[in-house]
């Protein structure tokens, strides 16, 4: 059974067919990567799944429940968190307080304990009292993930999470993501193909608003249509 099931999604912007009849599934507890060239429709598809962009056609079900018409905040309550969009860093608040805001939104009974647990999951407990604006870029990225995890999601969508990270930080990020499953399903939108091939169990490739290919990393790497459109070769 799919955790998330989308069928026939359509979203046009004027004459641009950003998403043109896309079917998409996420299995519970998997790491699934969404890739494709710039302008392929990745951001629009994620917007449709998270509720930030309304679908013009098609349906979306999450854990068996129809959510096609639900707004983004209602989908958060269903268990969908979109890190770097639903969450954002408040630079003039401490690291702790940033996460505490998300914990409060999730309705945790013990605010301090839940905040500390979220910081510990991303390795930022030592930075709890620092202003978020004073954190390194990599640590701000981790803070955003902590804020997403504080919402206790069943599905965590990570949009370009390794952009700007150093090599050592990327290794730490991969370890973090692997530790989230199977409790959390992860949808990863990422241009770093080394990260994608190393982390993802399944990959969906978008091109011109349509699904070009779906499959395992090995299958996607060997797909000639994907090579021509995106990977090169």
Rg of the chain, C-alpha, whole Å? 18
Residue 149 has pLDDT above 80, yes or no: yes
- C-alpha to C-alpha distance for 90 and 84, rounded to whole angstroms: 12
Burial class (CB in 10 A: 0-12, 13-18, 19+), 172: middle
| pLDDT value of residue 15 | 84
Region 217-231: mean pLDDT is 88
Distance separating alpha carbons of residues 201 and 98, to the nearest angstrom = 31
Is pLDDT at 86 greater than 50 in this prediction? no
Tell the CATH topology of 28-53+67-86+152-231.
Rossmann fold (3.40.50)
Q: What is the mean pLDDT of residues 49-57?
A: 94
3-state helix, strand, coil in the chain (%, to 5): 40, 25, 35
The residue that leads in pLDDT, 74 or 85, is: 74
pLDDT at 2 > cutoff 70: yes
What is the residue extent of each domain of the chain? Answer: 28-53+67-86+152-231, 89-150
The pLDDT-based confidence of 188 (bands split at 50, 70, 90) is very high
Beta-carbon contacts of residue 98 (< 8 Å; ≥ 6 apart): 89, 90, 132, 143, 147
Per-residue model confidence as pLDDT tens digits over 92-122:
999 999 999 989 888 788 999 999 999 998 8
């Amino acid at each position: 059974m799919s955790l998330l099931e989308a069928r026939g999604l359509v979203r046009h912007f004027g004459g641009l067919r950003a998403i043109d009849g896309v079917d998409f599934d996420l299995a519970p507890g998997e790491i699934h990567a969404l890739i494709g060239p710039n302008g392929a429709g990745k951001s629009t598809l994620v917007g449709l799944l998270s509720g930030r962009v309304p679908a013009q056609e098609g349906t979306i079900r999450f854990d068996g429940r129809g959510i096609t018409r639900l707004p983004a905040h209602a989908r958060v309550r269903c268990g969908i968190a979109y890190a770097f969009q639903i969450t954002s860093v408040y630079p003039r608040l401490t690291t702790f307080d940033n996460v505490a805001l998300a914990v409060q939104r999730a309705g945790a009974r013990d605010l301090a304990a839940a905040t500390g647990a979220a910081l510990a999951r991303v390795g930022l407990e030592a930075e709890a009292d620092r202003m978020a604006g004073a954190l390194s870029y990599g640590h701000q990225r981790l803070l955003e993930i902590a804020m997403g995890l504080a919402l206790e999601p069943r599905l965590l969508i990570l949009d370009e999470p390794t952009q700007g990270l150093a090599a050592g930080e990327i290794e730490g990020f991969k370890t973090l993501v692997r530790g989230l499953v199977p409790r959390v399903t992860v949808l990863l939108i990422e241009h770093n193909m080394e990260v994608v091939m190393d982390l993802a169990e399944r990959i969906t490739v978008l091109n011109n608003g349509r699904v070009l290919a779906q499959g395992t990393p090995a299958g996607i790497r060997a797909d000639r249509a994907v090579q021509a459109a995106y990977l090169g070769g």
